[in-house]
Structure formats: C-alpha cells, structure tokens
Amino acid sequence: MNNLTISQAHKGLLEKKFSALELTKLFLNKIKKQDKKISAFLTITDDLALSQAKQVDKLISDNKKIPILAGIPLAVKDNILVDGVKATCASKILENYIAPYDATCIKKLKQPGAVILGKTNLDEFAMGSSTEHSAFSPTKNPNDLTRVPGGSSGGSAAAVSADLCCYALGSDTGGSIRQPASFCGVVGLKPTYGAVSRYGLIAFASSLDQIGPITKTAEDAQIVFKAISGKDKKDSTSVELSETRVSVKLKDLRIGIPKEYFIKGMDSEVEKIIRQAIKKIQEIGAKVEEISLPHTEYGLAVYYLIMPSEASANLARYDGVKYGLSKSAKDLLNVYLDSRAGGFGDEVKRRIMLGTYALSAGYYDAYYLKAQKVRTLIKHDFDKAFNKVDAIFTPTSPFPAFKLGEKIKDPVSMYLSDIFTACVNLVGLPAVSMPVGFAGKLPVGLQIIGKPFEENKILEISKVYG
C-alpha cells in the first residue's frame, strides 16, 4: 500500500484489497509518525477523515458504484476553506479562525466521497517561494531535509512527495503549485484562470490566483482537475469547460522552446535535464522549435507590482473587527494598526507596503498602470507563440530546491524563484510542472504551458515522462 496513486487506490477499494477506513488510518498513522521531521501539516482532521471513510465503506459494502475519488485521502492547503476546520493561512492573524463553510472545490470533492486528512503548511497568505514564511514552522523537503520544499504550496507538495496523502490541493498565484511540485518531484497543475472556482480560497491576488491539484501522476491530475473545475455562480470569473479527455498525436505536436527561458546563471544540471526531456519528446516524433517571448525579462517586475497591489487591497479585510486576531486599543484606528501589525508577518507586511505604494497617488501611473500595460505585451508574446506551437516547454525553476535559510534574508533573490512561472499567471494560461529527472538527489521539473483551457492536453503530453 505504498505510494498509491488515485487510480491504484480506487482499484484497491473496488477489489476490496483494503477498505477506505484502512487506507485512511494508514495515512493518518504515517502523518503522525513521519510528519514531525517534514512539518507538512498544520492541522490533522482525524474525525472528519474517519467519518468520510466510513461512509464510503458503507457504499462499498452495499455494492453501490463509487466515484473514482470516493475514499481517496487528500491534503488541503490551509488557505482553502473546509467547513468547521481551522483555516490559518499560516498566519498569526488567522491562527484561531474556523472556516464557516466549504470552498466550492471542497464541496465538489466531498460530494463524491473524498477523505480529507488535514490542512497543509504554506508561506503566510501564500506569499513566498519556500514555505519559510509560514508563521508556524518551515516545511522541509522530503528529498533532502536540509532544503526547502518550495512554496507557497510547500506543505501540499511535501505531503504528496512523502506519501502522506494520495494527492493534495494547492493554489498558484505566481508559481505556488508548480515550483514546489518541481522541488519535491511531484506533478503540479495550475489551471487556466477561471477553470476552477476561487470561492472559499482566501484571496491573495484575485486576477492571478487559481486552485489546482498536486499529484503523483499526470493521470491523477486529470482526475482531480475534472472533479474541481467548472462554472460556479459564487465566482463570476469561473467558466464552464467543454473539453473532456483528449488524445494527443505526438507526431502532430509542435513544441516551442522560448530562448528567453534558458538564462545565464541557471543551474547547469537543471538545464541539462530539461534539454534531455526536450530531446526525448523530439525523438518520439514531436516537432520542436525555438520561439521567442521577448518581454519575458519584464515578467517578474510586472508580477511583483500587480500581485502586491491586489494583495494590499484584499488584505485590507483583516481589521480586527470581523474575525481573526484583534488587539484592544484606545480607538478604532489603533485597533486596525495594532491588530494588523501584530498579526501579519514580515513578508506580508512587505507586500502590503509595496502594493500600497504602487497604488498610491502620484505612483499609480508609473508603477501599477505601467505594469498592466507591459502585461498586455507579455500576453501578445504568448498569443503570437501559440499561433505557431501547441505547447511551450520551459524549466519550472532555474535551480533545484535550495537550502533552508539561503534566501530568506534577501527578498529580491527569493522573488527570482518565480521567474519562469509568474508570466503564466499574468496571462492566465494553464501550466503543469512534471518531474523529469534529478540533479543529485534533488528533483527537477519541466514546465509545460498550454493554450487556455487545454489542461488535459498538457497533462496528456506530460505522460511521456510519467
């Protein structure tokens, strides 16, 4: 029962090799024994998991047909609401906050009988690339405990990688599913903006955020994506998807390699492994050509203007009045000032300050508006490229997992972790990080970017490496 994928676990349940309760207990015990050294989980939801598993076992013993996700244990990033369970966002300001309802994606998973094992660690409010910005404890990379799991969905990626769950949910604002998936050696999908409802995801940067699956195989990512995607009237940016399973003929496939994504200073082992992966698909018959995304070098600056601007507006809701940490003070203004200063960590404060600055009178045009215009140019780059190619291959990250503490003191060097992933969020495209090799013992991920709503296609392509 080790390292079960969703399809394998489903098969095991159908063949009565094990019950949902046994499977759930196996994971809960593993979490209790092994998570001390990884710290992937912030909350373990034993009671919820056991009761969900029992319900599925009842269906099985009644000989009812069960959906593929029934009885399959998952972990949920702690910025996604699960009714009655703490949702801390790894922040002191929400340390004791209990979710009053289910996020739409959780509702969609509970309905077919998913088993929720617990909530996973993240950089506070999903702001970071290493999970070191968690207010509670950093998560460690299961492949090397001296290294970070990436971030911000570091807890989810580490939990899947260490086999503490069958799959997990993460959220991706500038790479927060793909980069930790790459660092931990698992599959991470950031869906097209609008493919998955954001209702019940604690808002960070609303024009960039998407929920997506972190899994052991590309097939599992397809299964979870199918379950959580679709139109939701509670998120007016969500859309109904028409595409179902697609078959991909590798011989007809045109793959673009953007020359701007093979930069000076990137890890040579990573570059070698990515080049080998490209060669592999070429040998199977896909056409590979060099393309150019000329505005790539501005992507990170644009992202680090738009994202904090939206975050500074979204995080204005933490006022010490409605919910969350509240400091008593002499008047209302001081309740705000003290609650927010006491509740937010350094990185969150830094981004709120940055966003407030970029949106403030006198700087709006020079920073925020300018960034939104360059965003248009970045989008044009991708539009042009996708006229010629079906998918774009890049490294997910210029380097493998770095050491704990290595970048924490230098915000700009930490921000560079998002250099290959952030542009994708700016233009809303789907992208997957697929493990394609190891630099020493550290996993390396290949990023496959697709056209809007072609999640299934890029996941089919990923299976070449599965």
Partner 1 sequence: MISQEDTKHIAKLARLGLKEAEIKKFQKELSSILNYFNLLKKVDVSNVEPTFHPGENYFKERLDIMRQDKAESEKPEKVNKLIEAAPDKKKRHIKVKAVFK
> Which residues are catalytically annotated?
77, 152, 176
Helix 46-61, helix 6-14: angle, nearest 10:
50
Q: Retrieve residue 107's tokens.
A: 């509702």
Name the residue nearer to partner 1 (CB basis): 223 or 374: 374
How far apart are the C-alpha atoms of 95 and 224, rounded to whole Å? Answer: 29
Size of the site for partner 1 (CB under 8 A): 69
Query: Between residue 161 and residue 180, which ones bind partner 1 under the rule CB under 8 A?
Result: none
* 94-98: long-range pairs with CB below 8 Å, 24+: 94/202, 94/318, 94/323, 94/324, 94/325, 94/343, 95/135, 95/325, 97/323, 97/324
Q: Which is nearer to partner 1, 160 or 427 (CB)?
A: 427
Which string of DSSP letters, residue by residue, matches 373-430?
HHHHHHHHHHHHHHHH-SEEEEESSSSSPPBTTSSTT-HHHHHGGGTTTHHHHHHT--
Assess contact for 209 and 239: CB atoms under 8 A.
Answer: no
Q: Which is nearer to partner 1, 131 or 192 (CB)?
A: 192
Q: Does the protein bind partner 1 through residue 292 (CB under 8 A)? A: no
Is residue 108 within the footprint of partner 1 (CB under 8 A)?
no
User: Could you say whether residue 338 binds partner 1 (CB under 8 A)?
Assistant: yes
Other C-beta atoms lying within 10 Å of the C-beta of residue 276: 13
Residues of this chain, 302-321, that bind partner 1 according to CB under 8 A:
302, 304-305, 312, 316, 319-321
Least distance between partner 1 and beta carbon 42 (Å): 18
Stretch that binds partner 1, among 138-146, 235-243, 249-257, 279-287 (CB under 8 A): 235-243
Among 119, 375, 407, 457, binds partner 1 (CB under 8 A): 375
Per CB under 8 A, contacts with partner 1 among 32-91 are: none
Q: Which is nearer to partner 1, 65 or 330 (CB)?
A: 330
Binding window for partner 1 (CB under 8 A); candidates: 30-38, 187-195, 217-225, 277-285: 187-195
Residue 42 neighbours by CB under 8 Å, 6+ apart: 78, 86, 88, 90, 118, 119, 120, 121, 134, 136, 155
Under the binding rule (CB under 8 A), the answer on residue 297 touching partner 1 is yes
Q: Taking the complex as a whole, how short is the minimal distance between the CB of residue 198 and partner 1, in angstroms?
A: 12
- Out of 32, 373, 384, 441, point to the residue binding partner 1 (CB under 8 A): 373
Q: Which stretch binds partner 1 (CB under 8 A): 65-73, 245-253, 283-291, 327-335?
A: 327-335
Angle at Cα 443 formed by Cα 193 and Cα 116, nearest 5°?
Answer: 55
Looking at the Cβ atoms of 188 and 320, the one nearer to partner 1 is 320
CA separation for the pair 114, 73 (Å, rounded):
6
CA dist 206 and 167 (Å) reads 25
* Residues 424 and 449 sit within 8 Å (Cβ to Cβ): yes
Position among 163, 411, 439, 465 found at the interface with partner 1 (CB under 8 A): 411
| Site residues for partner 1 per CB under 8 A | 97-98, 100-101, 192-194, 207-208, 236-237, 239, 295, 297-298, 301-302, 304-305, 312, 316, 319-326, 329, 331-338, 340-341, 344, 349-350, 352-354, 356-357, 360, 367, 369-377, 379, 383, 411-412, 415, 425-428, 452
